[in-house]
Chains A and B, each alone.
Chain A
Amino acid sequence: MPDTSTSHYPAAPKVEPTARHTLAVTVDNEPGVLARISGMFSGRGYNIESLTVSETEHAAHVSRITIVTSGTTHVIEQIKSQLERLVPVHGVRDLTTEGEAIERELALVKVAGKGEHRVEALRLAAAFGARTLDATLTSFVFELTGATDEIDRFIAMMTVVGLVEVSRTGIAAMSRGPEGM
């Protein structure tokens, strides 16, 4: 019997549980490499939750990209394979499957206010171990380094006492133990 559906393609697969993974990718530091990687994610419909990149070995022109992404086990495997087949990619490591990786990000947080709010902001910053990078009579800029949820909590607190602006680096990550990439 002829199919009455008008779709040209099979129905989308059933929804499976997704998980968050942190991938460390070493690449040739050549023009366009970041566009190649971010373009692969958008072109194939994968998520990027966080992406950081910086040159790590200047002489060898090697950069390290840390990508936080989420997907089903199958999708994560595909992402790794798709990354590996890009010509300038040296290697891909899934830090999430190798035990708890160390993940840190840095945030700059500007707050403005007077009186009790100002005192409370300074007190909270001290409690979180944030550094004060700039102070005026009406504002502060704090620097906080920590895990993502810690920074989220700090920002939530600061919202109450006069948050103006936030700048975050995204996640830098590394596996524990002696082995390198």
Chain B
Amino acid sequence: MQEEMTGAEMVVRALKDQGVEHVFGYPGGAVLPIYDALFHQEELRHILVRHEQGAAHAAEGYARSTGKVGCLLVTSGPGATNVVTGLTDALLDSVPLVCITGQVPTHLIGSDAFQECDTVGITRHCTKHNYLVKSIVDLPRVLHEAFHVARTGRPGPVVVDVPKDVQFARGLYARPRDNQHKTYRPRLKGDLGKIKAALALMAQARRPVFYTGGGIINSGRHAATLLRELVHLTGFPITSTLMGLGAFPASDKQWLGMLGMHGSYEANLAMHDCDVMICVGARFDDRITGRLDAFSPNSRKIHIDIDPSSINKNVKVEIGILGDCGYVLEDMVRLWRETAARADRSALAGWWRTIEGWRAKKCFSYRNSSEVIKPQYAVQRLYAAVKDRDHYITTEVGQHQMWAAQFFHFQEPNRWMTSGGLGTMGYGLPAAIGVQLAHPKALVIDIAGEASVLMNMQEMSTAIQHRAPVKVFILNNEYMGMVRQWQELLHGGRYAESYTAALPDFVKLAQAYGAHGMRCSDPAKLDAAIAEMISTPGPVILDCVVSKEENCFPMIPSGKAHNEMLLGETAEDIGNVIDEKGKALV
């Protein structure tokens, strides 16, 4: 069924046909026809942000908490350049987004017109794919194709640049029946021969470990369920990247905690000492591997990934299985059951004893204080207060993000939204708003640092306007904490520009936006403050004043191996827990 309509109407119609309910955006000259089309309808809700970067992160939060494609609409020129950080963030963390940008009319393209920029040129490197639609005839196909490309294979952001004359032009719209790209066909099913070889390797393993990542979350809820089944069937320990937290429940006894630069001692040493590593939907990035030539030197590695360029990119693997984690895990669970495969029980028991020895180190322990709130304690108390509620957590980037990953324990996928690959300060608040709009009744908390949150603080205004009752839990140490920590450890304690003088009064700032503002600096009053934050309707900023010079441990200094980890001063002395060989590793 073809209908005649304008290009602007096609944009709105295609979004609706794709099941979009919320579009985050900011109007401007080159998208006015689309805003006019939005004005005449009610199903598609537009969320007006205060900066286009906020629209991109909000759409990311929306997408990652729902598994759907996030959608945003911005104008040409500065509108498009302002979303570049958000698009890059989505590219590195594989978040499906469709970003509609306005463009100057086709006859003005290339003339340096007002608010013109080469949007497809600029975003070519920070999107999975992008389009400039020069003819109304192509518009319906491109719009639907954009959603297909964004969500299939390794998900990512897609930009559709629509010149203003194309928005005004009239053409025929029909929803394509198959909604596919003519050549783009990511492979979903893994090669059975390789899967069998992987299972054979797993069955012989004496010191195995699962290393999982965001690919499981992207693959969907069923992939997390299958992962849990496979991990329980095999009895192997499991760790995850920052992006993969929640795919496997943190309360499970086979869970080792997050791995990597600020991961747990037991997870990193298990990675270093394992003989078989099963990597599912993770990509061996430098924050995970540490020093590459000393990375897990004695293991044979299996890598399951949907992106062929991730396999053998940083780390050479024995068995690379190209496919969607969900499909591959399904085959693995089925075949493991069918063959009644059994891992070497006695070797596995010994391996678990070694791991328990590492666990006894209690690598996340810290010296608490009754004088000042320790940031770790603040996250622990927050977790205790919200764990039995329907909650979603976003973060900004830095120490608070790592403490959140270490001390907040995730049981379910899609509950944890953080900027992993790009490390974008300012991600958390707009992302929280996106999450809150997708889950209006849930408790959505942005665990923030005072420096990061200021980068997109203007979005408080968005939260107020759209009645998104997000809670901003600021761990305020007045420093860019992670920068300060690196300066302390690597630059002789010369704290160049990492202290923020003249911070705003966050309580008054919250009030200025029309939100509730609170401050807490007394550990004894922290629980009450958290309770008030949770029970207050509407957006809240809780300025939690924490100790200023706390460092985030454990830490693998960059360029070091997993067994060269720095521990906090309070970690247990494990001299009597592990043997001489183990000690040599510390």
A residues whose Cβ falls under 8 Å from a Cβ of B = 2-11, 13, 28, 31-32, 35-36, 39, 43, 74, 77-78, 81-82, 84-90
CB atoms of B490 and A2 under 8 A apart: yes
Tell yes or no: B286 within 8 A of A by CB. Answer: yes
11 cross-chain CB contacts under 8 A: A2-B490, A10-B292, A10-B559, A13-B293, A28-B183, A35-B124, A81-B308, A85-B309, A87-B128, A87-B184, A88-B183
4 nearest A-B residue pairs (beta carbon) = A81-B309, A3-B557, A87-B129, A81-B308
User: Which A residues are in CB contact (< 8 Å) with B125?
Assistant: 39, 43
Q: Can you name the residue of chain B whose Cβ is closest to the Cβ of A85?
A: B309
User: Which B residues are in CB contact (< 8 Å) with A36?
Assistant: 124
With known contacts A2-B557, A81-B308, A87-B129, A9–B490 Cβ distance under 8 A: no
User: Which A residues are in CB contact (< 8 Å) with B560?
Assistant: 3
CB atoms of A77 and B558 under 8 A apart: no
With known contacts A87-B129, A87-B184, A2–B124 Cβ distance under 8 A: no
How far is A43 from B149 in the complex, measured between Cα atoms in Å? Answer: 22
**Residue-by-residue, is B307-326 near A (CB-CB < 8 Å gives 1, otherwise 0)?**
11101110010000000000
- New A-B contacts (20) at CB < 8 Å, excluding given A13-B292, A13-B293: A2-B489, A2-B557, A4-B490, A5-B559, A7-B559, A9-B286, A9-B558, A9-B559, A10-B286, A10-B290, A28-B182, A43-B125, A81-B308, A81-B311, A81-B313, A85-B307, A85-B308, A87-B128, A88-B183, A90-B183
How far is A86 from B307 in the complex, measured between Cα atoms in Å? Answer: 11
How far is A32 from B124 in the complex, measured between Cα atoms in Å? Answer: 9
CB atoms of A87 and B149 under 8 A apart: yes
Q: Give the contacts of B268-315 with A (CB-CB under 8 A).
A: 286, 289-293, 307-309, 311-313
Taking residues whose C-beta sits less than 8 angstroms from the other chain, chain B's interface range is 35 or more
With known contacts A9-B286, A74-B312, A81-B309, A39–B124 Cβ distance under 8 A: yes
CB atoms of B291 and A10 under 8 A apart: yes
How far is A103 from B124 in the complex, measured between Cα atoms in Å? Answer: 31
Task: State how many angstroms separate the Cβ of B308 from the closest Cβ of chain A.
Answer: 4
Which of A7, A85, A89 has its CB near the most chain B CB atoms (within 10 A)?
A85
User: Which A residues are in CB contact (< 8 Å) with B183?
Assistant: 28, 88-90
Q: Can you name the residue of chain A whose Cβ is closest to the Cβ of B121?
A: A35
Q: Give the contacts of B313-360 with A (CB-CB under 8 A).
A: 313, 316
Q: Can you name the residue of chain A whose Cβ is closest to the Cβ of B312?
A: A77
How far is A31 from B106 in the complex, measured between Cα atoms in Å? Answer: 14
How far is A131 from B182 in the complex, measured between Cα atoms in Å? Answer: 43
User: Which B residues are in CB contact (< 8 Å) with A74?
Assistant: 312, 316
Q: Can you name the residue of chain B whose Cβ is closest to the Cβ of A28?
A: B183
Q: Can you name the residue of chain A whose Cβ is closest to the Cβ of B289?
A: A10
Tell yes or no: B194 within 8 A of A by CB. Answer: no
CB atoms of A31 and B132 under 8 A apart: yes
Task: State how many angstroms separate the Cβ of A138 from the closest Cβ of chain B.
Answer: 41
User: Which B residues are in CB contact (< 8 Å) with A5?
Assistant: 490, 559
CB atoms of B566 and A32 under 8 A apart: no
Q: Give the contacts of B448-488 with A (CB-CB under 8 A).
A: none
User: Which A residues are in CB contact (< 8 Å) with B566?
Assistant: 2
**In terms of DSSP, what is the predominant structure of the interface of chain B?**
loop
How far is A36 from B120 in the complex, measured between Cα atoms in Å? Answer: 10
Q: Can you name the residue of chain B whose Cβ is closest to the Cβ of A74?
A: B312
CB atoms of A82 and B309 under 8 A apart: yes
Task: State how many angstroms separate the Cβ of A125 from the closest Cβ of chain B.
Answer: 43
Tell yes or no: B181 within 8 A of A by CB. Answer: yes
How far is A39 from B120 in the complex, measured between Cα atoms in Å? Answer: 12
User: Which A residues are in CB contact (< 8 Å) with B124?
Assistant: 32, 35-36, 39
User: Which A residues are in CB contact (< 8 Å) with B311?
Assistant: 81
Q: Can you name the residue of chain A whose Cβ is closest to the Cβ of B555?
A: A2
User: Which B residues are in CB contact (< 8 Å) with A7?
Assistant: 558-559
User: Which B residues are in CB contact (< 8 Å) with A89?
Assistant: 183
User: Which A residues are in CB contact (< 8 Å) with B313?
Assistant: 78, 81
How far is A4 from B558 in the complex, measured between Cα atoms in Å? Answer: 11
CB atoms of B558 and A10 under 8 A apart: yes
Q: Can you name the residue of chain A whose Cβ is closest to the Cβ of B486?
A: A8
Task: State how many angstroms separate the Cβ of B236 from the closest Cβ of chain A.
Answer: 28
How far is A10 from B287 in the complex, measured between Cα atoms in Å? Answer: 10
How far is A74 from B312 in the complex, measured between Cα atoms in Å? Answer: 8
How far is A87 from B125 in the complex, measured between Cα atoms in Å? Answer: 13
CB atoms of A3 and B308 under 8 A apart: no
How far is A81 from B187 in the complex, measured between Cα atoms in Å? Answer: 13
Q: Can you name the residue of chain A whose Cβ is closest to the Cβ of B560?
A: A3
User: Which B residues are in CB contact (< 8 Å) with A32?
Assistant: 120-121, 124, 132
How far is A87 from B124 in the complex, measured between Cα atoms in Å? Answer: 12
User: Which A residues are in CB contact (< 8 Å) with B312?
Assistant: 74, 77-78
User: Which B residues are in CB contact (< 8 Å) with A2?
Assistant: 489-490, 557, 566
CB atoms of A87 and B181 under 8 A apart: yes
User: Which A residues are in CB contact (< 8 Å) with B558?
Assistant: 3, 7-10
How far is A32 from B118 in the complex, measured between Cα atoms in Å? Answer: 12
With known contacts A39-B124, A87-B128, A6–B490 Cβ distance under 8 A: yes
Which of B181, B286, B309 has its CB near the most chain A CB atoms (within 10 A)?
B309
Tell yes or no: B196 within 8 A of A by CB. Answer: no
Tell yes or no: B441 within 8 A of A by CB. Answer: no
Which of B154, B184, B291 has its CB near the most chain A CB atoms (within 10 A)?
B184
Task: State how many angstroms separate the Cβ of B157 from the closest Cβ of chain A.
Answer: 12
How far is A2 from B293 in the complex, measured between Cα atoms in Å? Answer: 19
User: Which B residues are in CB contact (< 8 Å) with A8?
Assistant: 558
Task: State how many angstroms separate the Cβ of B153 from the closest Cβ of chain A.
Answer: 8
With known contacts A28-B183, A35-B124, A36-B124, A6–B149 Cβ distance under 8 A: no
User: Which A residues are in CB contact (< 8 Å) with B129?
Assistant: 86-88
How far is A164 from B286 in the complex, measured between Cα atoms in Å? Answer: 51
How far is A150 from B290 in the complex, measured between Cα atoms in Å? Answer: 48
Q: Can you name the residue of chain B whose Cβ is closest to the Cβ of A40?
A: B125
Q: Can you name the residue of chain A whose Cβ is closest to the Cβ of B295?
A: A10
User: Which A residues are in CB contact (< 8 Å) with B557?
Assistant: 2-3
